[in-house]
Amino acid sequence: MIQVEGLTKQYKAVRAVDHLDFTVEPGHVTGFLGPNGAGKSTTMRMILGLDKPTAGTATINGKRYRELKNPLREVGGLLDAKAVHPNRTAANHLKWMAQANGIPTKRVDEVLGLVGLSNVAGKKAGGFSLGMGQRLGLAAALLGDPGTLLLDEPVNGLDPEGIRWVRSLVRGLAAEGRSVLVSSHLLSEMALTADHLIVIGKGKLVANMPTYDFIKAHSAANVIVRAENLRELANALRSRNVAFQPEKDQEGRDTLVIPERSTDEIGHLAHELGVPLQELSLHRASLEDAFMKMTEDAVEYRADAPATARADVPQAGNQPASAQAANPQAQPAQASQSGQPAQPATDAPAESRGQHRGRNGAEGGGETYTVEQLLAQHKASKGKGN
């Protein structure tokens, strides 16, 4: 079990982590989410003893990392799959880790087989693809057969089959009673993988709840309406104190987005006011939408919507006239692996060390799903043990 209490990290004028409190329970996959620069990397480094907290504690099974007698047997970490000497073979990389931690070398062959690298055990890590490097990092994290795992973006660089394999692996590890903390920017994947979500922004805790509850609570439904005379419809809605947001749809047509109302309610209202509608539909946000809504005040960098995304219709009440566009950035790469320091701790936030990781091309930049699809898939993944 991982226990974080009042965890804080101050870098001069920057507070990278601000009094975090959360628990990663055994038998569960816990998703660790947040925008770029939110403090996820720094938090994981403090849990693994690579960065010293300014205040607070992070313990693994009741002990700080430095107090663990056999750390690799208790906790495995994948923070940077590239933290491998490029001229070492996959097998030799794992062998020196095993010997340094009192782990039988026969375990090396076992984990290489588990992650599908047996056929390239003699190949130098410098020649590995991104996906192969991720598999080697997972092998290192599993080398000591630990009861606790911290994995940062474990599906990065993997193809769809590999992503499904990782999902099955981490859920299987949790089913064995292990505590699994997984950081990822693929939010739809987290809906299928994680039992629980921890969301942070600007170093502060934003949400800490079961995945199912997060999706239901923060993916609000909006009614989308379109009419030949949108100005008349807007005036009619304003007369009834109905809030709306002018937006353009994917085909560039002017629409009104009405939050917290049902299609029946808006349909009856339009009929009563004598305004014919060309479209009346219900749109539920994806998990990505819920995530961006939860962290909109915690994003360091954002862009305004382009002019073409603004609808040329009258504004209602205090509603802004344009829809704000958000484009979450890829998560930064980490600086250590498997609880073995790859470099000394620095006096700069992990999120500011200049390494950036791109989106997984196999996922097409991240798929989006409706809330109903996400909830159904989340239930299905639990039922299948994936």
Tokens describing residue 348: 């700069």
Give the separation between CA 96 and CA 4, rounded to whole angstroms: 31
The pLDDT of residue 298 is 63
- Helix H or strand E encompassing 148: strand 148-152
Can you name the residues that pair with 205 across neighbouring β-strands?
200
Give the separation between CA 335 and CA 351, rounded to whole angstroms: 10
Give the separation between CA 223 and CA 279, rounded to whole angstroms: 10
pLDDT in tens, 65-108: 999 999 999 999 999 888 899 999 999 999 999 999 999 999 99
The pLDDT of residue 381 is 65
The pLDDT of residue 110 is 97
Residue 166: count of CB within 10 angstroms of its CB: 22
Three-state DSSP at 44 gives helix
pLDDT in tens, 123-132: 999 999 999 9
Helical pair 160-175 and 130-142, crossing angle rounded to 10 deg: 10
The pLDDT of residue 384 is 56
Q: Which residues contact residue 226 at a Cβ distance below 8 angstroms, ignoring those fewer than 6 apart? A: 249, 253, 254, 255, 256, 277, 278, 279
pLDDT in tens, 153-207: 898 888 899 899 999 999 999 999 999 999 987 777 888 899 999 999 889 999 9
pLDDT in tens, 248-289: 988 899 999 999 888 999 999 888 888 899 999 988 766 677
pLDDT in tens, 289-327: 777 777 777 665 555 545 444 444 445 443 433 333 333
pLDDT in tens, 337-381: 444 433 334 444 444 333 333 333 333 334 445 555 656 666 676
Residue 54: count of CB within 10 angstroms of its CB: 15
The pLDDT of residue 377 is 66
pLDDT in tens, 196-211: 999 998 899 999 999 9
pLDDT-derived band at 37, boundaries 50, 70, 90: confident
> Starting from the edge strand earliest in sequence, which strands make up the sheet with 14-24, in order?
14-24, 2-11, 55-60
pLDDT in tens, 229-258: 889 889 989 988 999 999 998 889 999 999
What stretches of 218-287 adopt beta strand conformation (E)? Answer: 221-226, 245-248, 254-259, 279-284
User: In order of start, what are the domains of the chain with their CATH numbers?
Assistant: 2-216+330-384 (3.40.50.300), 221-284+299-309 (3.30.70.100)
pTM: 0.69
DSSP characters for 270-325? Answer: HHHHT---SEEEEEE--HHHHHHHHTTTS-S---PPPGGGS--SPPPTT--SSPPP
Query: Is residue 237 within 8 Å of 227, Cβ to Cβ?
Result: no
Query: Is residue 39 within 8 Å of 298, Cβ to Cβ?
Result: no
The pLDDT of residue 171 is 96
HEC per residue, 79-144: CCCCCCCCCCEHHHHHHHHHHHCCCCCHHHHHHHHHCCCHHHCCCEHHHCCHHHHHHHHHHHHHCC
